[in-house]
Structure formats: C-alpha cells, structure tokens
C-alpha cells in the first residue's frame, strides 16, 4: 500500500480511537499495535515493550517530575494569592491595573509552576472575584485569566518545552531561552489589550474602582514573593552558568520550593505534603506514559515508511516555505483544539522537524511557534482546558462569556506568531548569545 495513503488511514484511525474516550497513551498503543500486527505480523509486538521502556530510559526525563513537584509545591500554597496581591498594590493606579496585575501574576506564577491549569486556578481564585467586584465585565475578568494561564507552557521552565526537546533530541536549555522573549511579547500584548479595553470602557462611562495603598503596604508584601523569584533566577543561573544540567537544576528547584512552602507558608502537615507528592506523581506518570506510547507510535510510523514518505512528499512540493509554514500552523491549530499539548508535540514534532529544517526554519524558533499554537488550543473549544478551569472557579459565568472574553487574547497570540515570523531573532537571539549558535 502507498505509504501516503497508509498515513491517511493511520491519521483517521488515530482520531477515531482518541475520540472514543480512551486516554491518549492507550489510544496510541492501540493504533500502533493494530497496524504493526496487520502489516508486520504478530512478531512485531515483541519489540513494543522494548521500545516502550527504552523511550523512558533517559536521564533528561527526570526533569519532568522534578519541575512538576516544583509547581505543585507552589500551587499548594498562597504564593499565587501573594503574587496577585503584590502586583495589585504596585499597579493599582495604572489604567486597567487590576487586569494587568492578574496577567503579571499569571506570568510569574507560570514561570514557577510551568502549568497552565494550575496558573488559572491559583490566580483566578483571587483575581476573578476581585475584578468583578470592582466593576470589570465578566468576559474581561474570566478571559484575561484564561489567557494568562496559557503562559505556563511557554515561559521557562516549561514541561512542554522539555517534552519537545526529548521528542526532537534538541537542547532543553536552549528551548527554555527561546521562550523568554516570546513569552514577554505575549505578556506585553495581553497587557496592551487590557489597557485599551479598560480605557474604552471608562470612555463609555464605566466606573472601575481602584484601591489606594500606602508605601508601607506595598513593601510589606514583598518578602513573601521575593524567595520564589530568587528560586527562578537561581534555577536559570545554575542551568545556563554551567553549574548543573536541567535535570539536576530541576531537582534542586523542587527541593527549594518544598522548603519555602514548609518554612514560609507552614506547609508542614504530612497530609498536605502527601497531597503535593501524590498529585505530582499522577501528573508525571500520565506524561511519561504518553511519552512512552508516543515512542511506540513513532516507531510504527517509521517502520511502515509513513514518516519518511510524508517528509519526502512535502519536500518535493514547489510551494513557498512560508506557505508551507502556514499550512503547518493550521494543522497545529486544529490539532490543539482536540488534543493536549504534550500529545500533539509527541505525535507531530518528530514528523514535522525534518520538514521545517529542510525548509530552512530554525527548530528552536519552530518550538515557540508550536507552543503558541498549543496555547491557543488551551482557550479554544471543544477541549479548551483553561476555559473549563475558569468555569469551575466561577460557575456563575457562562462558558460562552468566558470564551468570548478570551477571543481578543487569541488574536494577540496570532499576532505574536506573525511578529515571530517577521522577527525570528526574538526566539533565537538569546539562545545564541548565551549558549552560542546552534550547530
């Protein structure tokens, strides 16, 4: 059978299996086993366990549970509330200051936790009720937090970037650096829209209440925030100063976050610590299970010559490389609507990497483009994980209102992709400066 036709059949079969309700990892294993049996016979199943466990035999994977523990320890404390409160006190006089405070808190919390749902939950619990109380529309209150939460998979340290690095065998440290300026670009665009929409509402006669804080009140909140910021700075310094590998740095960061949670936030109850470790283990096992299953799925695609044929076919297309990149972006956007970021990256990145490198695109720049597409998926139906997290925090706000409130931020993300296409150095300059040009 023609490999391209077989690839189409595999794609349709995978979609149908995943839509049946099984987990992503189980679905990938079912599809892989089915096609291997049909085309290679039962003997091919003997290799599946070896490939499955071989994919997990990587020291780099240790960074995933460590960063998840780091984020879980922070999420279990009042760190999110303290970040929100600190920024609110300092930005209260700025137009749209409360929305900007929430977006700033989301970006800082995302940098500490690396989790989009955790960021939405931690900041949203404080920010949404307060914004509504001060007169902000429900759509602005809910949409800004939903969008701000997506920053968790772009701003380093990011579990999504780690997964991309493992799937494509690219440098995790370089990927982290590639996400810094694009992350700041997104935060800036989000804040600019927030200021504009607040100014427009006030121009129409809407009154937004602003609190007044003394300098003493502004300064007294800082000691609760500074330790976490120092941890972020320390983790990045250790990683890029050549002191430790990403996995070793993640382990130290996780330990320090646990210590701060115990010392500053008095999280010394065995029950509370058990919840942190239990939740971290569950999320880590889920991600590692998907990684291993995706390894088997990739082997199946390669064994049946599907991956090579797709890459060869696209390479022979006489189309402008930016048209090709546009087609890839549409594909990623649609995939992100239905599948979680980790699954999309593990299934698509190994196939797309040779295509984009052949077309002359930088793989680290492409990682940022891919991640922003995944961010859009987090606030777009039908999956839109962040939308449902916000709906759980504020159940009296209709899901439609949350979606409409997040759409302007989707436009900001699309604008960010366009800017990165025009100015790719925003993603590649910092990694080249810190770690030298990629070979």
DSSP-derived secondary structure for 275-339: HHHHHHHHHHHHHHHHHHHHHHHHHHHHHTTHHHHHHHHHHH--S-HHHHHHHHHHHHHHHHHHS
Residue 137, classed as helix, strand or coil, is: coil
Q: Which residue has the tokens 């137009």?
A: 95
Question: Which whole-number Å values give the CA distances from 272 to 59, 224, 258, 279, in the listed order?
Answer: 29, 20, 11, 11
In whole angstroms, give the CA distance from residue 15 to residue 347.
Answer: 12
Residue 416's pLDDT is 94
Q: Are 62 and 277 in contact (CB under 8 A)?
A: no
Q: Are 80 and 117 in contact (CB under 8 A)?
A: no
Cα of 362 vs its chain's centroid, Å: 20
| Ramachandran category for residue 251: left, alpha or beta (phi over 0 → left; psi -120 to 50 → alpha) | alpha
Give pTM, 2 decimals.
0.79
pLDDT digits (tens, 9 = 90+) for 344-402: 888 788 888 888 888 889 999 999 999 999 888 888 876 677 888 888 878 888 888 88
Other CB atoms within 10 Å distance of the CB of residue 395: 9
More confident residue, 218 or 413: 413
Number of domains the chain is built from: 1
Helices marked H in 62-211 — which ranges?
63-75, 79-91, 97-113, 116-133, 138-149, 159-168, 172-178, 180-203
Q: Are 368 and 399 in contact (CB under 8 A)?
A: no
**419, two tokens:** 């800017």
In whole angstroms, give the CA distance from residue 378 to residue 48.
Answer: 32
More confident residue, 60 or 422: 422
More confident residue, 187 or 246: 187
Question: Which whole-number Å values give the CA distances from 237 to 79, 160, 241, in the listed order?
Answer: 22, 20, 5
Residue 215 lies inside a defined structural domain of this protein: yes
Q: How confident is the model at residue 210 (pLDDT cuts 50, 70, 90)?
A: low
Peptide bond into 157 cis (omega under 30): yes
Average pLDDT, the chain: 81
Q: How confident is the model at residue 205 (pLDDT cuts 50, 70, 90)?
A: very low
Residue 81's pLDDT is 72
In whole angstroms, give the CA distance from residue 139 to residue 144.
Answer: 8
Residue 140 lies inside a defined structural domain of this protein: yes
Segments forming the whole domain that contains residue 420: 56-435
Residue 253 lies inside a defined structural domain of this protein: yes
Nearest alpha carbon to residue 72 among 113, 120, 23: 113
What burial class does residue 265 get, using C-beta atoms within 10 Å of its C-beta: 0-12 exposed, 13-18 middle, 19+ buried? middle
**393, two tokens:** 């925090």
Instruction: Specify the DSSP class assigned to residue 265.
Output: S
7 pLDDT more than 60: yes
Residue 247 lies inside a defined structural domain of this protein: yes
Residue 12, classed as helix, strand or coil, is: helix
Q: How confident is the model at residue 439 (pLDDT cuts 50, 70, 90)?
A: low
Sequence-distant (≥ 6) Cβ neighbours of residue 113 within 8 angstroms: 70, 71, 72, 74, 75, 119, 122, 152
In whole angstroms, give the CA distance from residue 69 to residue 258.
Answer: 8
More confident residue, 155 or 312: 155
276 pLDDT more than 70: yes
Residue 335 lies inside a defined structural domain of this protein: yes
What burial class does residue 273 get, using C-beta atoms within 10 Å of its C-beta: 0-12 exposed, 13-18 middle, 19+ buried? middle
Residue 23 lies inside a defined structural domain of this protein: no
In percent, the amount of the chain with pLDDT more than 90 equals 8
**278, two tokens:** 């239990």
**5, two tokens:** 């036709």
Give me the torsion for CA of 79, 80, 83, 87, rounded to 10°.
-160
302 pLDDT more than 80: no
Residue 51 lies inside a defined structural domain of this protein: no
Residue 143's pLDDT is 85
Q: Which residue has the tokens 């115990």?
A: 262
Residue 113, classed as helix, strand or coil, is: helix
Residue 265's pLDDT is 78
Residue 357 lies inside a defined structural domain of this protein: yes
What's the average model confidence in pLDDT over 270-285? Answer: 84
């Amino acid at each position: 059978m023609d490999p391209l036709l077989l690839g189409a059949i595999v794609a349709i079969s995978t979609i149908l299996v995943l839509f049946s309700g099984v987990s992503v990892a189980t679905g990938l294993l079912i599809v892989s086993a089915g096609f291997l049996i049909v085309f290679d016979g039962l003997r091919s199943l003997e290799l599946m366990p070896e490939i499955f466990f071989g994919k997990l035999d990587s020291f780099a994977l240790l960074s995933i549970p460590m960063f998840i523990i780091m984020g879980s320890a922070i999420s279990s404390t009042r760190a999110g509330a303290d970040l929100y409160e600190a920024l609110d006190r300092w930005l209260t006089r700025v137009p749209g200051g409360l929305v900007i405070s929430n977006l700033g808190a989301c970006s800082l919390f995302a940098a500490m936790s690396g989790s989009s749902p955790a960021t939405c939950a931690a900041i949203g619990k404080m920010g949404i009720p307060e914004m509504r109380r001060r007169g902000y529309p429900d759509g602005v209150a809910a949409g800004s937090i939903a969008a701000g939460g997506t920053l968790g998979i772009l701003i380093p340290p990011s579990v999504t970037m780690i997964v991309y690095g493992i799937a494509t065998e690219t440098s995790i440290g370089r990927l982290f650096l590639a996400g810094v300026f694009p992350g700041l670009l997104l935060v800036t665009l989000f804040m600019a829209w927030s200021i504009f929409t607040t100014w427009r509402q006030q121009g129409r006669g809407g009154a937004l209440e602003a609190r007044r804080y003394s300098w003493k009140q502004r300064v007294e909140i800082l000691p609760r925030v500074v330790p976490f910021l120092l941890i972020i700075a320390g983790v990045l310094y250790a990683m890029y100063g050549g002191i430790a590998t990403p996995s070793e740095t993640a382990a130290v960061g996780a330990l320090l976050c646990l210590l701060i949670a115990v010392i500053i936030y008095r999280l010394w109850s065995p029950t509370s610590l058990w919840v942190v470790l239990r939740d971290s283990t569950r999320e880590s096992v889920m991600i590692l299970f998907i990684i291993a299953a995706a390894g088997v799925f990739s082997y199946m695609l390669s064994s049946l010559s599907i991956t090579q044929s797709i890459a060869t076919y696209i390479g022979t297309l006489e189309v402008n490389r930016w048209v090709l990149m546009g087609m890839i972006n549409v594909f990623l956007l649609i995939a992100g609507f239905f599948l979680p970021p980790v699954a999309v990256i593990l299934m698509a990145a190994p196939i797309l990497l040779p295509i984009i490198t052949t077309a002359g695109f930088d793989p680290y720049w492409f990682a940022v483009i891919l991640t922003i597409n995944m961010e859009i998926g987090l606030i777009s139906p039908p999956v839109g994980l962040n939308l449902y997290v916000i709906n759980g925090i504020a159940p009296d706000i209709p899901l439609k209102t949350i979606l409409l409130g997040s759409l302007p931020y989707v436009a900001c993300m699309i604008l960010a992709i366009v800017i990165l296409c025009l100015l790719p150095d925003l993603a590649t300059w910092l990694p080249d400066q810190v770690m030298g040009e990629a070979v």
